């Protein structure tokens, strides 16, 4: 910018000399040129951040973000009706809300409004005013969590209120009333706007209709059969929901192996592997299957596991609020889209579960280690979500980041250590074969598609 102005000044000087004009006229020309240059629209990298005073969002700790993340994992475990797809959706919108509540205070990043499927605009803060981004994040998360988890218990609702109040009191100490009010109001406006956006995706209040009685179960050779007293499969239309990323609406896994009861067929071979593995499980294989089971009602469900790992690592690395918001937004949206794609595939093919096929064609008395979930087999939801979460974490922490997962310490499980995020996702996928509820092909294809979906999330314009 300065270089261009100097060139123009020199040009005017030569023009004055050539025309024989006096120095006074030259001064007038110089002033006019400077005014015109100042009025020119500045490029993005020259625009000042919204906050001319106060700290940018990367100067705050991640405490507000990780505390809200931990509370939502508890809500996922203790709220009736919150099945894995429903939980994935809630974590996705909460992550997006967190990011949008602080991104105006992060000059290097930009909003996802106009980039996500159906999200055209969001509230913006006042220009050249001071904001406390931790307070904005707190108000935004409190607002969206109340909306997404409206069916949680009264005790949980009191916990939501208590966390919001405690963080407001702690973070707001020493700040002016104007800054506190402005920050809280902006955060709440983001929470309200994202919640309104969430209502139009097809999954609003799905916890009230997990098993729609009107659904007609397809019948035929190789198609899904009820594996318990639950006769209607879970969320048969979930795959029709709006994805966050437009490209993910058509990012689907490879088709399942063609059904056949012939003993020399690839499909029979997949089932036989599940059968023989289940009959000869080692102690370590059982431990893996149980560690990754993540049953609804007992844990935060499979999509919560990736967020649990992310939360642990954000705390371990003493991450900033900006880092936490970006990671939780990416992992939440990628997992949400992965479960939508997975469910789209499940109900497109309606593949029979291993226990049903094995009981029909191999051993009528065989039972898997884990209880078979009430929905079709292909692909694996756990594999899809783990593949997506692992790629997001790898993108931030690196491909060879070693870590230990303490997600189930309080449940008596030994923490599991991994040399990379890919290793964790592959173990999570394989655990479903050990548990006897998925064929290998469904696990592998779930992983592959989950990674593809996460790549589409990473490809968004996060930075300016």
Residue ranges per structural domain of the chain: 2-40, 57-198, 231-458
pLDDT score, position 53: 54
What's the whole-number mean pLDDT along residues 78-84? 96
* pLDDT tens figures, 258-295: 999 999 999 999 999 999 999 999 999 999 999 999 99
Mean residue pLDDT across the chain? 91
Beta bridge partners of 61: 320
pLDDT at residue 10, as a whole number: 42
Q: Quick one: which of 257, 252, 245 has its CA closest to 357?
A: 257
Secondary structure of 439-455 as H, E, C letters? CHHHHHHHHHHHHHHHH
For the domain covering 57-198, report its CATH number: 1.20.144.10
More confident residue, 158 or 52: 158
Could you report the per-residue pLDDT of 404-452, keeping only the tens digit for each?
Answer: 999 999 999 999 999 999 999 999 999 999 999 999 999 999 999 999 9
Residues of 414-435 as b/e, b for ≥16 C-beta within 10 angstroms?
A: eebebebbbebbbbbbbbbbbb
Tokens of 319: 């991450």
DSSP readout, 301-336? HHHHHHHHHHHHHHHHTT-BHHHHHHHHHHHHHHHH
Q: Which helix (H) or strand (E) holds 6?
A: helix 2-19
pLDDT at 11 exceeding the cut of 90? no
| 68 neighbors 145 (Cβ within 8 angstroms) | yes
- Does the domain at 231-458 match CATH 1.10.606.20? Answer given as yes
* pLDDT beyond 80 at 167: yes
Which residues are bridge partners to 416 per DSSP?
405
Percent of the chain scoring above 70 in pLDDT: 89
Give the closest residue to 372 by CA, choosing from 356, 390, 358, 394. 356
| Helix/strand/coil for 138 | helix
pLDDT over 50 at 16, yes or no:
no
- Structure confidence at residue 296 (pLDDT): 87
d(CA 307, CA 352): 30
Task: Decide if pLDDT at 394 tops 50.
Answer: yes
Whether the pLDDT of residue 50 is over 90: the answer is no
Q: Which residue did the predictor score with more confidence, 159 or 40?
A: 159
């Amino acid at each position: 910018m300065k270089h261009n102005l100097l060139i123009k000044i020199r040009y005017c000087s030569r023009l004055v000399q050539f025309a024989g004009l006096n120095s006074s006229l030259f001064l007038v020309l110089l002033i006019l040129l400077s005014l015109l240059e100042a009025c020119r629209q500045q490029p993005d990298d020259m625009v000042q951040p919204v906050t001319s005073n106060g700290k940018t969002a990367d100067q705050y700790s991640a405490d507000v973000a990780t505390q809200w993340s931990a509370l939502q994992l508890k809500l996922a475990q203790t709220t009736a009706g919150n099945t894995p797809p429903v939980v994935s959706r809630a974590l996705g919108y909460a992550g997006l809300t967190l990011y949008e509540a602080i991104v105006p205070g992060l000059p290097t990043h930009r909003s996802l409004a106009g980039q996500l499927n159906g999200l055209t605009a969001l509230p913006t803060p006042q220009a050249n005013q001071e904001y406390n981004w931790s307070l904005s994040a707190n108000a935004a998360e409190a607002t969206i969590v109340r909306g997404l988890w409206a069916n949680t218990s009264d005790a949980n609702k009191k916990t939501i209120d208590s966390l919001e109040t405690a963080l407001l009191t702690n973070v707001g100490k020493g700040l002016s009333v104007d800054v506190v009010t402005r920050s809280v109001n902006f955060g709440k406006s983001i929470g309200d706007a994202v919640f309104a956006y969430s209502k139009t995706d097809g999954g609003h209040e799905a916890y009230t209709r997990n098993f729609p009685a009107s659904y007609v179960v397809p019948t035929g050779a190789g198609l899904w059969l009820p594996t318990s007293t639950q006769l209607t499969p879970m969320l048969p239309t979930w795959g029709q929901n709006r994805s966050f990323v437009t490209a993910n609406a058509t990012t689907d896994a490879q088709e399942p192996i063609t059904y056949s009861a012939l003993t020399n067929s690839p499909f029979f071979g997949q089932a036989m592997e599940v059968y023989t593995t289940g009959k000869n499980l080692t102690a370590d294989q059982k431990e893996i299957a149980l560690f990754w089971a993540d049953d609804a009602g007992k844990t935060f469900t499979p999509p919560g596991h990736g967020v649990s790992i992310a939360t642990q690592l954000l705390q371990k690395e003493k991450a900033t609020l900006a880092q936490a918001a970006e990671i939780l937004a990416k992992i939440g949206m990628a997992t949400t889209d992965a479960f939508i794609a997975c469910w789209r595939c499940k109900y497109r093919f309606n593949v029979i579960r291993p226990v049903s096929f094995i009981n029909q064609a191999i051993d009528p008395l065989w039972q898997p280690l884990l209880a078979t979930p009430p929905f079709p087999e292909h692909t694996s939801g756990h594999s899809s979500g783990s593949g997506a979460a692992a790629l997001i974490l790898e993108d931030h922490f690196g491909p060879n980041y070693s870590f230990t997962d303490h997600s189930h310490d309080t449940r008596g499980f030994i923490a599991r250590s991994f040399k990379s995020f890919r290793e964790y996702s592959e173990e999570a996928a394989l655990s479903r074969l050990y548990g006897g509820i998925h064929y290998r092909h469904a696990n592998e294809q779930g992983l592959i598609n989950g990674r593809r979906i996460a790549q589409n999330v990473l490809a968004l314009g996060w930075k300016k």
